[in-house]
Amino acid sequence: MAVVQLASEADVMAALGRVLTSDESARVGAILDKASELFRQRSGQQFTAGTSFVRLRVVGDQVSMPQRPVVSVTAVTTDDGEDTAVTFGTLFQSKVRLSGVVGGDMVRVNYSHGGVVPELVRLTVADITRKVLEIDPNAVQGKTQHSETVGPFTEQDTYATWAQGGQTMLSPSDADIADSFRVRSYGAVVMVP
């Protein structure tokens, strides 16, 4: 299954401030794929258009969908073995009011979500890719420090732990940005196969 990247090669070039070299061009697609999936995993969001069929607990008289933004709700049914259709009202942000169910009941919701990738997500994924492409060759080899002395001059470098080995991963600041997109309260969610 192909990964829908959250940033483009052009975004990476803008982050670098130059055109990609032939070596970087060969690597950028795989790095963008992994950076996109790591950001999705950390944030709990897909960002791109899609549909979900989830099992949610009713809180009060409404349910809140975990993926944002919610575009439309297709169907809501009870989860009591009878799959009875539940009447639902107007969608407000990621919540929809239900009738005929009470707080604590479980329902199955089929809905569509996503759309245009937020600018902060696009720029962050492009920057993650830029950082991977610019990792010092010594850090790629797994070194934590490098020192070089020429005459009376000494140059010493220390490499961040996330850069060692040259793997694609979220830095602490990237993880903080992804966490800012995480939905903090939507009740119990069970993904339905």
Both structure tokens of 193: 């196969």
Tell me, what's the pLDDT at 145? 85
Pairing of strands 50-57, 189-191: antiparallel
**Spatial contact of 139 and 128, defined as CB atoms under 8 Å apart:** no
CA 60 to CA 72: how far, in whole Å?
A: 21
Tell me, what's the pLDDT at 191? 59
Tell me, what's the pLDDT at 25? 96
H/E run at residue 77? strand 70-78
Tell me, what's the pLDDT at 12? 97
Tell me, what's the pLDDT at 132? 93
For each of the chain's 193 residues, which pLDDT tens digit applies?
A: 689 999 999 999 999 999 999 999 999 999 999 999 999 999 999 999 999 999 999 988 899 999 989 999 999 999 887 888 999 988 888 899 999 898 889 999 999 999 999 999 999 999 999 999 998 888 777 888 888 899 999 988 887 777 777 789 999 999 999 999 988 765 555 556 5
Both structure tokens of 12: 């990476």
